[in-house]
Amino acid sequence: QKEVEQNSGPLSVPEGAIASLNCTYSDRVSQSFFWYRQYSGKSPELIMSIYSNGDKEDGRFTAQLNKASQYVSLLIRDSQPSDSATYLCAVNEDTPLVFGKGTRLSVIA
| Footprint on this chain of another protein (rule: CB under 8 A) | 31-32, 34, 42-46, 49, 88, 92-102
Nearer to another protein, 32 or 52 (CB): 32
Handedness of CA 99, 106, 10, 62 (dihedral sign): positive
Residue 83 φ then ψ, to 5° = -80, -10
Nearer to another protein, 61 or 99 (CB): 99
**Residues β-bridged to residue 48:** 35
**Minimal distance, residue 45 CB to another protein, in Å:** 7
**Minimal distance, residue 17 CB to another protein, in Å:** 27
Q: Residue 79, CB half-sphere, CA atoms under 13 Å: how many? A: 22
